[in-house]
Amino acid sequence: MDFKRWVYLFCLLTVSSSKPIKADHLPISKQGVLDLSQVNFLEQTSVPLSGDWEFQWNELTSPVTNFNEASHPNKSKELSQIQTNNYISIGKRWKEIHSGIGFSTYRLKIIFPEGSHEQIFGIRFYQTGGSAMRVFVDGTLSLTLGEVGTTKETMQPTRSSGIVIIPYPKKEVSLLVHISNFHHDDGSFWYAPSIGIEKNIRNELSKEMIIDSLLAGALFFMAFYHFVLFFFRRTRKLSLFFGLFSFTTALHSISLNGDLLYYIYPEVPYRFAFSLSLIFYLAMPLYLYFLSQLYPNRFSKWIMHGFASLCIFLYSLVIFLPSELGSLTTFYGIFFSLAGLLYATFILFISAIQKQELAFSLLLIQIFLVVSAVNDTLYLYGIIHFQLVLKYSYLSTVLFQSLLLASFFTKTFTKNETLKNELATLNESLEKTVILRTNEYKEAKLHAEEANQWKDKLISLVAHDLRSPLSTVYSAITLANDKDSTPEEKSHIYKQVFTILESAMSTIENLLNLNRFQKDKGQFHLYLEETPILNQLQLVLDSFAFEMQKKSLQFDIQIPKSAVVFADRSILSEILRNIISNAIKFSHPNGIIKASCNESMETCTISIFDSGKGIPSEQQKILFTEAISSPGTLGEKGFGIGLKLCFELMKLHNGNIRVESELGKGSQFHLEFPKPKDF
């Protein structure tokens, strides 16, 4: 398989499919009001609640209290200052304006389109790192994620998400959200909630859960597979590092979407979920060690060990420090991960230039992974609004690298086995040579036997074709020496003998021309040409004049002079001689033999009919595959190889021979020759 082509095509299609969400036509909230009156939720699956929300820092405002009332109206300067901070864009980090740790209240008024009172709506709230959340709809508590509190001790963080159900809403609905965060350095709404018809929102969630489950399952399977490979071949650390990389990416892919993690383990401690979300710190060193096993002379050991030490140190801080301090390492973890990806990309680029094995394919995968990591990082910090594709890039990276590794392992295993066999059989090289020569001898012997079989058949055919004319010549000379024969009869007999002997000499010359064999395959060299059927048939009939006269046979030729067949002249003569010889042999005295020709678009068929005794049906089935000898109507004998040889000679022409016969009524043989286009 051309892995380079497949990997390039996959990366191109995946990157091209990761386009930004087209939300230009969707409304966004302005000054805490989101007007959805023009949105058709039957066509639009969901709408992000993005834009400016009313915002109150370090206040958990009552659902019925207006933010303006919570400010200080008697102090114009303070009022102005508070009102400038009364709105915040969803996704904007708290520490950009206040502190990453604290609590706040968000409020949004949603204006629904006409007819919304007939639908059930849902709002999906996504995970926010280490926060807790309470959601009120028109003053009624509708969703609780974790436990909201004003101190670290009174709150309980979570990384899960949830859905708020709004059945048959009024024209205007007030949405109020309490958020507290004391367990993560970067608190706020990370991602804008999305609103839509409740069924569509749940369908989106279900699809994401299914996809994430398949992705995680595939990654865990690949990890297990490579662990098994390492178990059986422990010298191959390549499999171990790739299995560990697959395992860590599988754990990270679960944590990327809290729904799957909390669905698998609803009571998962926040500390565990938080640590799992940053396990990608360890994935990059494992990935680099995996690549260094492929290209050991390219990767610097000092850089590798130093990089691994830094990443392990950062993850140790995540595990052992409080989560609000451990989260401070996020920026550095992302920075070092991207640095590791760029370092690997540079090494693969150099290796690809020097055309090292698999380097180009791995470089394409590496570029795709870098683009995905950069995309998700910028998305996380609200700089761009592309889709999150890192979890998909994990699977594609692991999958295609597994395919490349399979190819690499196959080649390496084959190479190692070859070297091993060469070393193990060094003392047996002579025996292998003998075996090789023996096989060559057997093959040559097989070809020689095939050639000898053909020669034996031809020699048998010579004997078959000469037996009849020689017997005829013997009988004719006996008659000529009879005292009762007149001079005229003797002269006629001598002329017939001369004709028979002349035909026999021609037959011998054709059949014993052994140069027509291929030395390596024992097959005929055919000289195919357009051969007049009537001329060849007449030459054959002249050689059987005495036999036909002896049985007083008539030969009816129904073939026009213009009829031709695309065949080898000599072989055609031998085929006709055998068929006509059998027709004479099995015809009753005073019988008739007919010859005809029929042409179609694809074949030219020569038919020979005799009114003899016919052929039994059981013999017809093996007539052309086995040697069958039967006495003629006057006791004539034969070798029984004529028709079998005719069948093989017809096969040389890519033609066919078939028979139609009925006992007591005679036989008809059809010789089907393909026309020139079939050659």
User: Does pLDDT of 413 surpass 50?
Assistant: yes
Euclidean distance between CA atoms 462 and 451, whole angstroms: 16
Q: Which helix (H) or strand (E) holds 275?
A: helix 270-277
pLDDT number for residue 18: 41
Rounded Cα–Cα distance for residues 324 and 44 (Å): 38
Q: Which residue has the tokens 């095939």?
A: 450
Q: Is the pLDDT of residue 16 over 60?
A: no
When pLDDT is cut at 50, 70 and 90, the band that residue 108 belongs to is: very high
**Residue 458, pLDDT score:** 61
Q: Taking a C-beta distance cutoff of 8 angstroms, is the pair 661, 620 a contact?
A: yes
Q: What is the mean pLDDT of the chain?
A: 80
For residues 518 and 515, give the distance between their C-alpha atoms in angstroms, rounded to a whole number: 8
pLDDT of residue 147: 93
Determine whether 367 is exposed, middle or buried from the number of CB atoms within 10 Å of its CB (0-12, 13-18, 19+): middle
Question: How confident is residue 381, by pLDDT bands cut at 50, 70 and 90?
Answer: low
249-258, 407-416, 602-611: which range is least confident on average?
Answer: 407-416
Task: Give just the sign of the alpha carbon dihedral 326, 330, 334, 336.
Answer: negative
- The residue with greater pLDDT, 1 or 551, is 551
**273/457: higher pLDDT:** 273
pLDDT digits (tens, 9 = 90+) for 47-103: 999 889 999 999 998 887 655 444 444 433 433 333 444 899 887 888 888 888 899
Q: Evaluate whether 84 touches 11 at the Cβ level (below 8 Å).
A: no
% the chain with pLDDT above 90: 23
Predicted TM-score of the model (pTM): 0.54
| Of 139, 177, 171, 174, the residue nearest 63 (C-alpha) | 139
Separation CA 479–CA 476 (nearest Å): 5
Q: For position 389, what pLDDT does the model report?
A: 63
Residue 662: pLDDT over 60: yes
* Residue among 505, 504, 528 nearest 516 (CA): 528
CA 635-637-638 angle, 5° bins: 155
Predicted confidence at residue 80, as pLDDT, reads 38
For the stretch 158-197, pLDDT in tens is: 888 899 999 999 999 999 999 999 988 887 778 889 999 9
The predicted model gives 581-607 an average pLDDT of 90
Residue 432 reports pLDDT greater than 80 = no
Residue 505 token pair: 């000499």
CA distance linking residue 187 with residue 176, whole number of Å: 17
Over residues 137-155, mean pLDDT = 92
pLDDT in tens, 315-351: 999 999 998 888 889 888 888 888 888 898 898 899 8
